[in-house]
Amino acid sequence: MLTVELIVLLVVLFVAALGGTVFVFRHEEKKMKQYEEEGDTVENELQRSREYETQSLKSNVPRLLWIYAVTIFLALIAFLIYVFGS
What digits encode the pLDDT tens for the residues 26-71?
A: 988 888 788 777 776 777 778 877 877 777 777 778 888 888 899 8
Domain with 56, as residue range(s), is: 2-85
| Residue 1 clears pLDDT 60, i.e. is over it | no
| Beta carbons of 64 and 18 less than 8 angstroms apart | no
Q: From CA 80, how far away is CA 47, in angstroms rounded?
A: 48
CA distances from 42 to 14, 50, 76 (A): 40, 12, 47
| Residue 84 clears pLDDT 60, i.e. is over it | yes
| Residue 80 clears pLDDT 70, i.e. is over it | yes
Q: How many domains does the chain have?
A: 1
In this prediction the pTM is 0.62
